[in-house]
């Protein structure tokens, strides 16, 4: 009897356990389904813009420095005391303008002496010619010897050479006298004055340092990767910190024949008109060199893209859902970047809230 009652209790206990386990499984499964349903039905609020195609010019970015288009050290070509200098630092000069004068007294006297020498030798030559004509006539009649005729012929040649030598000395004296006035070889500005009136100067002594800043030269370097894109005649656009809201433009004029070995960069130069003299040599410039004509490209805000290692992706909104797009990027245009592959234009690109999205989730595009 005892064994039979124990069997009844045991069967009842087992039945209760089965009921409890089934109830727990039903409750757990129901909760899981409700939770899964809640995740699937969650909607993310985002902002989006329409992907655009824009006509943009490809370009290369660089940094550079402004330099004077021409730089000339004006020097004295003769020895003497500097009589006066007509310019100072910052002075504007035109080509051919008088810059300085060297005291000319000695050189003027040298010209007069050379002129007198010319007159003297010309008189001697005239006398030798007359004597030659007489001796020539007598020699033909055999009234003078061959030796006498040869002597007058030699004296005539010497007199003629003396005249040429005297005339050359006169030309040289006049040339030196003309060099007592020193003129500007180019139009520009005086960067530095190195002498003052009263200084004794010699041939080759620097007087002033002239620079030409209209036009002005923009010197910049291009990295090795972009060397194949550049050529003479391309448009250049740049900004300087002195005038941050103003763009300046120029034309590529010179490309150096070699790369700098240390930096692996190629030096290039552009010419920029500078009529108002706003641009100064030494200013730092941020350069954009346009390498081709405008073309239609798909561009998106740089901040809309997501980076995972070497992969780049974006999300678009389509029929209330987020769709992931793998993209390839190209040229940067300020805050935008070219999309070479992955977007065609016209898509609703998610620009705010994309970090929380995954493929297929529901999105609400805020207006």
Question: In sequence order, which residues have a C-beta less than 8 Å from that of residue 283 and are 6 or more positions away?
Answer: 65, 66, 240, 241, 242
Q: Where in the chain is the domain with CATH 2.40.30.170?
A: 61-68+211-290
CATH 1.10.3720.10 is held by the domain 43-55+295-365: no
Q: Where in the chain is the domain with CATH 2.40.420.20?
A: 43-55+295-365
pLDDT score, position 97 = 95
pLDDT score, position 134 = 84
pLDDT score, position 23 = 53
Torsion of CA 219, 223, 227, 232, to 10 degrees: -10
CATH 1.10.287.470 is held by the domain 104-179: yes
CA nearest neighbour of 162 among 205, 211, 114, 125: 125
The CATH architecture annotation of domain 61-68+211-290 reads: Beta Barrel (2.40)
Question: What is the full per-residue pLDDT of the chain (367 aa) written as tens digits?
Answer: 444 444 444 444 454 454 455 555 444 445 444 444 444 568 889 999 999 899 988 899 999 999 999 999 999 999 999 999 999 999 999 999 999 999 999 999 999 999 999 999 999 999 889 988 888 888 788 888 888 888 888 988 998 999 999 999 999 999 999 999 999 999 999 999 999 999 999 999 999 999 999 999 999 999 999 999 999 999 999 999 999 999 999 999 999 999 998 999 999 999 999 999 999 999 999 999 999 898 889 999 999 999 988 899 999 999 889 999 999 998 888 889 999 999 988 899 999 988 988 898 999 998 6
pLDDT score, position 300 = 93
pLDDT score, position 366 = 84
Q: Where in the chain is the domain with CATH 1.10.287.470?
A: 104-179
């Amino acid at each position: 009897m005892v064994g039979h009652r124990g069997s009844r209790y045991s069967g009842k206990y087992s039945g209760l356990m089965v009921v409890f386990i089934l109830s727990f499984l039903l409750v757990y499964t129901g909760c899981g389904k409700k939770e899964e349903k809640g995740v699937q039905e969650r909607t993310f609020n985002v902002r989006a813009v329409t992907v655009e195609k824009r006509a943009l010019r490809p370009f290369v970015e660089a940094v550079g420095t402004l330099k004077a288009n021409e730089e000339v050290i004006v020097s004295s070509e003769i020895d003497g005391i500097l009589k006066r200098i007509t310019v100072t630092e910052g002075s504007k000069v035109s080509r051919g303008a008088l810059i300085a004068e060297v005291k000319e007294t000695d050189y003027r006297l040298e010209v007069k002496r050379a002129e007198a020498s010319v007159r003297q030798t010309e008189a001697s030559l005239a006398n030798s010619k007359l004597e030659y004509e007489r001796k020539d006539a007598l020699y033909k009649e055999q009234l003078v010897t061959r030796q006498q005729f040869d002597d007058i012929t030699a004296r005539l040649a010497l007199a003629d050479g003396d005249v040429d030598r005297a005339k050359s000395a006169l030309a040289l004296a006049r040339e030196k006298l003309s060099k007592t006035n020193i003129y500007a070889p180019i139009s520009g500005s005086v960067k530095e004055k190195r002498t003052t009136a009263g200084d004794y100067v010699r041939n080759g002594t620097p007087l002033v340092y002239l620079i030409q800043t209209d036009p002005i030269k923009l010197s910049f370097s291009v990295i090795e990767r972009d060397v194949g894109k550049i050529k003479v005649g391309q448009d250049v656009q740049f900004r300087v910190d002195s005038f941050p809201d103003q763009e300046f433009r120029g034309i590529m004029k010179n490309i150096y024949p070699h790369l700098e070995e240390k930096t692996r960069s190629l030096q290039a130069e552009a010419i920029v008109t500078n009529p108002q003299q706003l641009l100064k040599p030494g200013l730092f410039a941020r350069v954009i060199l346009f390498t081709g004509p405008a073309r239609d490209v798909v561009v998106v805000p740089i901040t809309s893209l997501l980076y995972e290692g070497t992969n780049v992706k974006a999300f678009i909104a389509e029929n209330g859902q987020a769709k992931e797009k793998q993209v390839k990027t190209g040229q940067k245009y300020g805050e935008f970047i070219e999309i070479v592959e992955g977007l065609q234009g016209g898509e609703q690109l998610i620009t705010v809230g994309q970090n929380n999205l995954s493929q297929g989730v529901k999105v609400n595009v805020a207006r």
